[in-house]
A and B are shown apart, each in its own frame.
Chain A
Protein backbone atom coordinates (compact mmCIF):
# COMPACT_ATOMS: atom_id res chain seq x y z
CA UNK A 1 0.00 0.00 0.00
CA UNK A 2 2.88 2.35 0.67
CA UNK A 3 4.47 1.97 -2.73
CA UNK A 4 7.43 -0.04 -1.46
CA UNK A 5 6.39 -3.27 -3.18
CA UNK A 6 5.17 -3.84 -6.71
CA UNK A 7 1.78 -5.57 -6.68
CA UNK A 8 1.61 -8.83 -8.64
CA UNK A 9 -1.74 -7.75 -10.02
CA UNK A 10 -3.97 -4.71 -9.82
CA UNK A 11 -3.05 -1.39 -8.29
CA UNK A 12 -3.48 0.66 -5.16
CA UNK A 13 -5.53 3.78 -5.75
CA UNK A 14 -5.66 6.90 -3.71
CA UNK A 15 -8.89 8.89 -3.85
CA UNK A 16 -8.57 12.62 -3.85
CA UNK A 17 -5.39 14.42 -2.90
CA UNK A 18 -3.70 14.64 0.45
CA UNK A 19 -3.92 17.85 2.49
CA UNK A 20 -1.31 20.38 1.46
CA UNK A 21 0.39 20.51 4.86
CA UNK A 22 1.06 16.78 4.75
CA UNK A 23 4.72 16.24 3.87
CA UNK A 24 4.51 12.51 3.33
CA UNK A 25 0.90 11.35 2.95
CA UNK A 26 1.58 7.62 3.29
CA UNK A 27 3.93 7.11 6.20
CA UNK A 28 5.16 3.79 7.52
CA UNK A 29 5.74 2.59 11.03
CA UNK A 30 7.89 -0.52 10.82
CA UNK A 31 7.89 -3.63 12.91
CA UNK A 32 11.62 -3.35 13.58
CA UNK A 33 11.46 0.43 14.22
CA UNK A 34 14.06 1.21 11.47
CA UNK A 35 15.87 3.89 13.44
CA UNK A 36 19.35 4.96 12.38
CA UNK A 37 21.58 3.71 15.22
CA UNK A 38 24.14 6.50 14.74
CA UNK A 39 21.63 9.32 15.10
CA UNK A 40 20.04 10.50 18.32
CA UNK A 41 16.28 10.50 18.84
CA UNK A 42 16.23 14.10 17.63
CA UNK A 43 18.51 13.29 14.69
CA UNK A 44 16.30 10.43 13.61
CA UNK A 45 13.32 12.75 13.43
CA UNK A 46 15.16 15.60 11.75
CA UNK A 47 16.33 13.10 9.10
CA UNK A 48 12.86 13.02 7.58
CA UNK A 49 12.45 16.80 7.77
CA UNK A 50 15.80 17.75 6.23
CA UNK A 51 14.75 16.62 2.77
CA UNK A 52 11.72 18.89 2.89
CA UNK A 53 14.00 21.82 3.58
CA UNK A 54 12.80 22.15 7.15
CA UNK A 55 15.71 23.16 9.35
CA UNK A 56 16.56 25.38 12.26
CA UNK A 57 13.82 26.64 14.52
CA UNK A 58 10.98 25.31 12.38
CA UNK A 59 12.38 21.81 12.66
CA UNK A 60 13.01 22.30 16.38
CA UNK A 61 9.35 23.20 16.88
CA UNK A 62 8.06 20.16 15.01
CA UNK A 63 10.47 17.85 16.86
CA UNK A 64 9.54 19.29 20.25
CA UNK A 65 5.85 18.90 19.40
CA UNK A 66 6.01 15.27 18.29
CA UNK A 67 8.32 14.31 21.16
CA UNK A 68 5.86 15.83 23.61
CA UNK A 69 2.97 13.93 22.01
CA UNK A 70 4.86 10.64 22.36
CA UNK A 71 6.14 11.51 25.87
CA UNK A 72 9.75 11.44 24.77
CA UNK A 73 10.78 15.04 25.50
CA UNK A 74 13.42 13.99 28.04
CA UNK A 75 15.15 11.65 25.65
CA UNK A 76 15.81 13.82 22.62
CA UNK A 77 19.57 13.31 22.83
CA UNK A 78 19.54 9.59 23.58
CA UNK A 79 20.81 7.09 21.04
CA UNK A 80 18.48 4.27 19.94
CA UNK A 81 20.67 1.61 21.58
CA UNK A 82 20.05 3.24 24.96
CA UNK A 83 16.29 2.92 24.57
CA UNK A 84 14.00 -0.01 25.29
CA UNK A 85 11.95 -1.57 22.51
CA UNK A 86 8.83 0.36 23.46
CA UNK A 87 10.72 3.65 23.50
CA UNK A 88 12.23 2.90 20.10
CA UNK A 89 8.80 2.35 18.64
CA UNK A 90 7.61 5.60 20.23
CA UNK A 91 10.51 7.35 18.48
CA UNK A 92 9.39 5.77 15.22
CA UNK A 93 5.84 6.97 15.87
CA UNK A 94 7.13 10.46 16.65
CA UNK A 95 9.13 10.41 13.41
CA UNK A 96 6.03 9.39 11.47
CA UNK A 97 3.94 12.14 13.07
CA UNK A 98 6.61 14.73 12.20
CA UNK A 99 5.79 14.52 8.49
CA UNK A 100 2.04 15.00 9.17
CA UNK A 101 0.86 11.86 7.36
CA UNK A 102 -2.59 11.64 5.83
CA UNK A 103 -2.57 7.92 6.57
CA UNK A 104 -0.28 5.98 8.85
CA UNK A 105 0.69 2.54 7.63
CA UNK A 106 1.52 0.45 10.65
CA UNK A 107 3.13 -2.84 9.78
CA UNK A 108 2.80 -4.98 12.90
CA UNK A 109 4.17 -2.14 14.98
CA UNK A 110 3.90 -3.91 18.32
CA UNK A 111 4.86 -7.47 17.43
CA UNK A 112 8.55 -7.05 18.28
CA UNK A 113 7.66 -5.93 21.81
CA UNK A 114 6.96 -7.91 24.96
CA UNK A 115 3.37 -8.04 26.08
CA UNK A 116 3.60 -5.49 28.92
CA UNK A 117 5.17 -2.91 26.64
CA UNK A 118 2.58 -3.75 24.04
CA UNK A 119 -0.23 -2.91 26.48
CA UNK A 120 1.36 0.43 27.31
CA UNK A 121 1.89 1.34 23.68
CA UNK A 122 -1.65 0.40 22.76
CA UNK A 123 -2.82 2.88 25.39
CA UNK A 124 -0.44 5.45 23.94
CA UNK A 125 -1.74 4.93 20.42
CA UNK A 126 -5.28 5.29 21.72
CA UNK A 127 -4.47 8.49 23.62
CA UNK A 128 -2.80 9.87 20.55
CA UNK A 129 -5.89 9.14 18.51
CA UNK A 130 -8.23 10.62 21.08
CA UNK A 131 -6.25 13.85 21.24
CA UNK A 132 -6.00 14.23 17.51
CA UNK A 133 -7.79 11.82 15.21
CA UNK A 134 -5.70 10.24 12.52
CA UNK A 135 -6.25 7.62 9.84
CA UNK A 136 -4.21 4.49 10.10
CA UNK A 137 -4.02 1.16 8.41
CA UNK A 138 -2.82 -1.27 11.01
CA UNK A 139 -1.64 -4.76 10.09
CA UNK A 140 -1.51 -7.25 12.92
CA UNK A 141 -1.73 -10.91 13.82
CA UNK A 142 -2.85 -10.05 17.30
CA UNK A 143 -6.64 -10.09 17.72
CA UNK A 144 -6.49 -8.11 20.91
CA UNK A 145 -4.77 -5.23 19.12
CA UNK A 146 -7.35 -5.40 16.34
CA UNK A 147 -10.26 -5.36 18.77
CA UNK A 148 -8.80 -2.64 20.99
CA UNK A 149 -7.67 -0.23 18.29
CA UNK A 150 -9.65 -0.97 15.15
CA UNK A 151 -12.83 0.64 13.90
CA UNK A 152 -13.10 -1.59 10.89
CA UNK A 153 -11.32 -4.92 10.91
CA UNK A 154 -10.62 -6.57 7.58
CA UNK A 155 -9.96 -10.26 8.03
CA UNK A 156 -7.66 -11.63 5.36
CA UNK A 157 -7.35 -15.25 4.35
CA UNK A 158 -3.99 -16.91 4.21
CA UNK A 159 -1.96 -16.82 1.03
CA UNK A 160 -3.08 -15.68 -1.44
CA UNK A 161 -4.53 -13.03 0.86
CA UNK A 162 -8.17 -12.39 0.03
CA UNK A 163 -10.66 -10.44 2.08
CA UNK A 164 -12.72 -12.90 4.12
CA UNK A 165 -14.90 -10.54 6.02
CA UNK A 166 -15.10 -6.94 7.12
CA UNK A 167 -16.07 -6.51 10.76
CA UNK A 168 -17.03 -3.09 12.08
CA UNK A 169 -16.40 -2.36 15.73
CA UNK A 170 -18.60 0.59 16.70
CA UNK A 171 -17.68 0.93 20.35
CA UNK A 172 -15.89 4.25 20.93
CA UNK A 173 -12.18 3.66 21.58
CA UNK A 174 -12.16 5.22 25.02
CA UNK A 175 -15.06 3.03 26.23
CA UNK A 176 -13.61 -0.27 25.10
CA UNK A 177 -11.73 -1.00 28.32
CA UNK A 178 -14.91 -0.54 30.34
CA UNK A 179 -16.88 -3.00 28.21
CA UNK A 180 -14.62 -6.03 28.35
CA UNK A 181 -17.49 -8.38 27.50
CA UNK A 182 -18.39 -6.65 24.25
CA UNK A 183 -14.75 -6.60 23.27
CA UNK A 184 -14.25 -10.23 24.15
CA UNK A 185 -17.24 -11.15 21.99
CA UNK A 186 -15.79 -9.29 19.03
CA UNK A 187 -12.44 -10.91 19.57
CA UNK A 188 -14.00 -14.34 19.82
CA UNK A 189 -15.93 -13.77 16.65
CA UNK A 190 -12.75 -12.73 14.83
CA UNK A 191 -10.96 -15.79 16.13
CA UNK A 192 -13.73 -18.09 14.91
CA UNK A 193 -13.32 -16.55 11.48
CA UNK A 194 -9.62 -17.19 11.45
CA UNK A 195 -9.25 -20.40 13.35
CA UNK A 196 -9.33 -22.84 10.47
CA UNK A 197 -7.14 -20.66 8.34
CA UNK A 198 -4.59 -20.41 11.09
CA UNK A 199 -4.56 -24.16 11.57
CA UNK A 200 -4.08 -24.76 7.86
CA UNK A 201 -1.37 -22.12 7.69
CA UNK A 202 0.41 -23.81 10.56
CA UNK A 203 0.58 -27.07 8.63
CA UNK A 204 1.65 -25.47 5.40
CA UNK A 205 5.19 -25.81 4.09
CA UNK A 206 6.44 -22.56 2.78
CA UNK A 207 7.43 -22.52 -0.86
CA UNK A 208 10.34 -20.18 -0.93
Chain B
Protein backbone atom coordinates (compact mmCIF):
# COMPACT_ATOMS: atom_id res chain seq x y z
CA UNK B 1 0.00 0.00 0.00
CA UNK B 2 2.69 2.41 1.06
CA UNK B 3 4.55 1.55 -2.11
CA UNK B 4 1.56 2.62 -4.19
CA UNK B 5 1.38 5.93 -2.38
CA UNK B 6 5.08 6.48 -2.87
CA UNK B 7 4.74 5.73 -6.58
CA UNK B 8 1.86 8.17 -6.88
CA UNK B 9 3.90 10.88 -5.18
CA UNK B 10 6.68 10.43 -7.67
CA UNK B 11 4.18 10.59 -10.51
CA UNK B 12 4.93 6.98 -11.43
CA UNK B 13 2.29 4.42 -12.31
CA UNK B 14 2.86 0.69 -12.79
CA UNK B 15 2.91 -0.65 -16.31
CA UNK B 16 -0.33 -2.64 -16.73
CA UNK B 17 0.02 -6.37 -17.44
CA UNK B 18 -1.14 -7.12 -20.95
CA UNK B 19 0.21 -10.57 -21.69
CA UNK B 20 -1.87 -13.63 -20.87
CA UNK B 21 -5.01 -14.99 -22.47
CA UNK B 22 -5.16 -17.15 -25.62
CA UNK B 23 -4.48 -20.21 -23.53
CA UNK B 24 -7.66 -22.16 -22.80
CA UNK B 25 -7.28 -24.45 -19.79
CA UNK B 26 -8.92 -27.87 -19.75
CA UNK B 27 -11.75 -27.96 -17.19
CA UNK B 28 -13.00 -31.48 -16.57
CA UNK B 29 -16.37 -30.63 -15.09
CA UNK B 30 -17.80 -28.70 -18.06
CA UNK B 31 -18.25 -31.61 -20.47
CA UNK B 32 -20.21 -33.94 -18.09
CA UNK B 33 -22.52 -31.10 -17.07
CA UNK B 34 -23.21 -30.16 -20.67
CA UNK B 35 -23.76 -33.79 -21.57
CA UNK B 36 -26.17 -34.37 -18.66
CA UNK B 37 -27.99 -31.19 -19.55
CA UNK B 38 -28.44 -32.25 -23.19
CA UNK B 39 -29.71 -35.72 -22.21
CA UNK B 40 -32.08 -34.13 -19.71
CA UNK B 41 -33.34 -31.72 -22.33
CA UNK B 42 -33.83 -34.54 -24.81
CA UNK B 43 -35.75 -36.68 -22.28
CA UNK B 44 -37.83 -33.68 -21.33
CA UNK B 45 -38.60 -32.86 -24.95
CA UNK B 46 -39.67 -36.43 -25.61
CA UNK B 47 -41.84 -36.55 -22.48
CA UNK B 48 -43.89 -33.47 -23.35
CA UNK B 49 -44.12 -34.46 -27.01
CA UNK B 50 -41.81 -31.97 -28.74
CA UNK B 51 -39.69 -34.74 -30.12
CA UNK B 52 -41.59 -37.53 -31.87
CA UNK B 53 -40.44 -41.00 -30.77
CA UNK B 54 -40.29 -41.96 -34.44
CA UNK B 55 -37.65 -39.38 -35.19
CA UNK B 56 -35.64 -39.75 -32.02
CA UNK B 57 -36.64 -42.14 -29.22
CA UNK B 58 -36.23 -40.80 -25.69
CA UNK B 59 -32.99 -41.73 -23.90
CA UNK B 60 -34.94 -43.87 -21.43
CA UNK B 61 -36.39 -45.95 -24.29
CA UNK B 62 -33.01 -46.33 -25.89
CA UNK B 63 -31.59 -47.50 -22.58
CA UNK B 64 -34.41 -50.04 -22.19
CA UNK B 65 -33.66 -51.41 -25.66
CA UNK B 66 -29.96 -51.58 -24.76
CA UNK B 67 -30.77 -53.63 -21.63
CA UNK B 68 -32.88 -56.00 -23.66
CA UNK B 69 -30.03 -56.55 -26.11
CA UNK B 70 -27.63 -57.07 -23.25
CA UNK B 71 -29.87 -59.63 -21.56
CA UNK B 72 -30.52 -61.62 -24.71
CA UNK B 73 -26.76 -61.93 -25.38
CA UNK B 74 -27.12 -60.40 -28.84
CA UNK B 75 -25.05 -57.41 -27.86
CA UNK B 76 -22.01 -59.41 -26.82
CA UNK B 77 -22.15 -61.41 -30.03
CA UNK B 78 -22.47 -58.34 -32.28
CA UNK B 79 -19.86 -56.45 -30.34
CA UNK B 80 -17.43 -59.36 -30.59
CA UNK B 81 -17.90 -59.57 -34.34
CA UNK B 82 -17.57 -55.80 -34.78
CA UNK B 83 -14.46 -55.67 -32.62
CA UNK B 84 -12.83 -58.47 -34.56
CA UNK B 85 -13.51 -56.67 -37.83
CA UNK B 86 -12.22 -53.45 -36.35
CA UNK B 87 -8.96 -54.90 -35.13
CA UNK B 88 -8.31 -56.82 -38.30
CA UNK B 89 -9.24 -53.95 -40.62
CA UNK B 90 -7.35 -51.35 -38.64
CA UNK B 91 -4.18 -53.42 -38.33
CA UNK B 92 -4.12 -54.34 -42.00
CA UNK B 93 -4.96 -50.78 -43.08
CA UNK B 94 -2.25 -49.32 -40.84
CA UNK B 95 0.43 -51.77 -41.94
CA UNK B 96 -0.32 -51.19 -45.60
CA UNK B 97 -0.50 -47.46 -44.94
CA UNK B 98 2.92 -47.46 -43.27
CA UNK B 99 4.46 -49.46 -46.13
CA UNK B 100 3.04 -47.17 -48.82
CA UNK B 101 3.74 -44.05 -46.76
CA UNK B 102 7.40 -44.97 -46.33
CA UNK B 103 7.71 -45.73 -50.03
CA UNK B 104 6.16 -42.37 -50.90
CA UNK B 105 8.43 -40.65 -48.38
CA UNK B 106 11.65 -42.15 -49.75
CA UNK B 107 11.34 -42.84 -53.47
CA UNK B 108 10.58 -40.37 -56.23
CA UNK B 109 8.79 -42.91 -58.38
CA UNK B 110 6.60 -44.23 -55.56
CA UNK B 111 5.75 -40.69 -54.53
CA UNK B 112 4.71 -39.78 -58.06
CA UNK B 113 2.31 -42.72 -58.09
CA UNK B 114 1.02 -42.80 -54.54
CA UNK B 115 0.49 -39.15 -53.63
CA UNK B 116 -1.94 -38.17 -56.43
CA UNK B 117 -3.77 -41.46 -55.98
CA UNK B 118 -4.20 -40.89 -52.25
CA UNK B 119 -5.19 -37.28 -52.79
CA UNK B 120 -7.87 -38.39 -55.24
CA UNK B 121 -9.37 -41.16 -53.12
CA UNK B 122 -8.95 -39.77 -49.60
CA UNK B 123 -11.80 -37.20 -49.75
CA UNK B 124 -14.36 -39.80 -50.90
CA UNK B 125 -16.41 -40.85 -47.87
CA UNK B 126 -15.49 -44.52 -47.56
CA UNK B 127 -19.07 -45.34 -46.68
CA UNK B 128 -20.00 -44.27 -50.21
CA UNK B 129 -17.77 -47.05 -51.49
CA UNK B 130 -19.60 -49.65 -49.43
CA UNK B 131 -22.06 -50.61 -52.21
CA UNK B 132 -19.06 -51.15 -54.48
CA UNK B 133 -17.32 -53.31 -51.87
CA UNK B 134 -20.48 -55.33 -51.41
CA UNK B 135 -20.50 -56.03 -55.13
CA UNK B 136 -16.78 -56.91 -55.13
CA UNK B 137 -16.47 -58.82 -51.88
CA UNK B 138 -20.03 -59.93 -51.18
CA UNK B 139 -22.30 -58.98 -48.32
CA UNK B 140 -20.27 -60.89 -45.74
CA UNK B 141 -17.29 -60.01 -43.57
CA UNK B 142 -14.95 -59.12 -46.43
CA UNK B 143 -16.78 -56.02 -47.58
CA UNK B 144 -17.03 -54.74 -44.00
CA UNK B 145 -13.36 -55.29 -43.35
CA UNK B 146 -12.50 -53.66 -46.69
CA UNK B 147 -14.37 -50.50 -45.64
CA UNK B 148 -12.46 -50.28 -42.38
CA UNK B 149 -9.16 -51.08 -44.09
CA UNK B 150 -9.72 -48.36 -46.67
CA UNK B 151 -10.74 -45.94 -43.98
CA UNK B 152 -7.50 -46.37 -42.03
CA UNK B 153 -5.17 -46.79 -45.00
CA UNK B 154 -5.40 -43.27 -46.44
CA UNK B 155 -4.92 -41.16 -43.31
CA UNK B 156 -2.00 -43.41 -42.36
CA UNK B 157 -0.26 -42.99 -45.73
CA UNK B 158 -0.60 -39.21 -45.46
CA UNK B 159 0.68 -39.14 -41.88
CA UNK B 160 3.67 -41.34 -42.68
CA UNK B 161 4.98 -39.57 -45.75
CA UNK B 162 4.21 -36.19 -44.18
CA UNK B 163 6.22 -37.27 -41.14
CA UNK B 164 9.15 -38.36 -43.30
CA UNK B 165 9.06 -35.06 -45.22
CA UNK B 166 9.33 -33.17 -41.96
CA UNK B 167 12.42 -34.95 -40.67
CA UNK B 168 15.13 -32.34 -40.16
CA UNK B 169 17.19 -32.27 -43.38
CA UNK B 170 20.25 -31.37 -41.34
CA UNK B 171 20.10 -34.65 -39.47
CA UNK B 172 20.07 -36.49 -42.79
CA UNK B 173 23.02 -34.42 -44.01
CA UNK B 174 24.79 -35.25 -40.78
CA UNK B 175 24.24 -38.94 -41.48
CA UNK B 176 25.60 -38.51 -44.98
CA UNK B 177 28.59 -36.54 -43.75
CA UNK B 178 29.53 -39.46 -41.52
CA UNK B 179 29.16 -41.84 -44.46
CA UNK B 180 26.33 -43.79 -42.86
CA UNK B 181 24.82 -46.42 -45.11
CA UNK B 182 21.52 -45.63 -46.83
CA UNK B 183 19.75 -48.21 -44.74
CA UNK B 184 21.24 -46.83 -41.51
CA UNK B 185 20.06 -43.33 -42.36
CA UNK B 186 16.52 -44.61 -42.97
CA UNK B 187 16.43 -46.85 -39.92
CA UNK B 188 18.28 -44.70 -37.39
CA UNK B 189 17.48 -41.15 -38.50
CA UNK B 190 14.45 -40.90 -40.78
CA UNK B 191 12.07 -43.41 -39.19
CA UNK B 192 12.63 -42.36 -35.56
CA UNK B 193 12.37 -38.75 -36.69
CA UNK B 194 9.04 -39.42 -38.39
CA UNK B 195 7.67 -41.51 -35.54
CA UNK B 196 5.83 -38.71 -33.67
CA UNK B 197 3.94 -37.77 -36.84
CA UNK B 198 3.19 -41.42 -37.59
CA UNK B 199 1.83 -41.96 -34.08
CA UNK B 200 -0.34 -38.88 -34.25
CA UNK B 201 -1.61 -40.26 -37.55
CA UNK B 202 -2.70 -43.37 -35.63
CA UNK B 203 -4.46 -41.19 -33.13
CA UNK B 204 -6.54 -39.78 -35.94
CA UNK B 205 -7.07 -43.10 -37.71
CA UNK B 206 -7.97 -45.37 -34.80
CA UNK B 207 -11.41 -43.92 -34.01
CA UNK B 208 -12.29 -43.75 -37.72
CA UNK B 209 -13.20 -47.44 -38.13
CA UNK B 210 -15.64 -47.00 -35.24
CA UNK B 211 -17.49 -44.47 -37.33
CA UNK B 212 -17.39 -46.66 -40.35
CA UNK B 213 -18.83 -49.61 -38.51
CA UNK B 214 -21.40 -47.42 -36.76
CA UNK B 215 -22.57 -45.84 -39.95
CA UNK B 216 -23.13 -49.23 -41.49
CA UNK B 217 -25.71 -50.19 -38.88
Contacts and interface: CB of A to CB of B under 8 A. Distances in A.
Nearest to A50: B184
A137 to B, nearest CB: 13
Most chain A CB neighbours (cut-off 10 Å) among B178, B179, B188, B189: B178
Given A34-B170, A34-B171, A2 B192 contact: no
Interface residues of A, number: 16
B192 A36 contact: yes
Contacts of A34: 168, 170-171, 173-174
Nearest to B189: A36
B132 interface: no
Nearest to B168: A34
Given A30-B170, A36-B192, A47-B188, A2 B179 contact: no
Interface in A42-82: 47-48, 50-51
Nearest to B180: A51
Contacts of B71: none
B199 to A, nearest CB: 13
A50 B173 CA distance: 17
A4 interface: yes
Contacts of A48: 178, 180
Contact of A99 (B170, B178, B181, B192): B178
Contact of B179 (A30, A32, A51): A51
Interface on chain A toward B: helix, strand, loop, or mixed SS? loop
A89 interface: no
Interface residues of B, dominant DSSP: helix
Contact of B177 (A2, A32, A50): A2
B178 A24 contact: yes
A27 B178 CA distance: 7
Contacts of B170: 30, 32, 34
A36 B178 contact: no
Contacts of B184: 50-51
Interface string A1-42: 010100000000000000000001011101010101010000
Interface string B106-132: 000000000000000000000000000
B16 to A, nearest CB: 32
Interface string B89-112: 000000000000000000000000
Interface string A79-93: 000000000000000
A89 B60 CA distance: 66
A24 B174 CA distance: 12
A53 B208 CA distance: 44
Interface string B174-200: 101111110010001100110000000
A80 B143 CA distance: 49
Given A34-B171, A36-B189, A36-B193, 19 more contacts: A4-B173, A4-B177, A24-B177, A24-B178, A26-B177, A27-B177, A28-B174, A28-B177, A28-B178, A34-B168, A34-B173, A34-B174, A36-B192, A47-B178, A47-B188, A48-B178, A51-B178, A51-B180, A51-B181
Closest 4 CB pairs of A and B: A34-B174, A28-B177, A48-B178, A34-B170
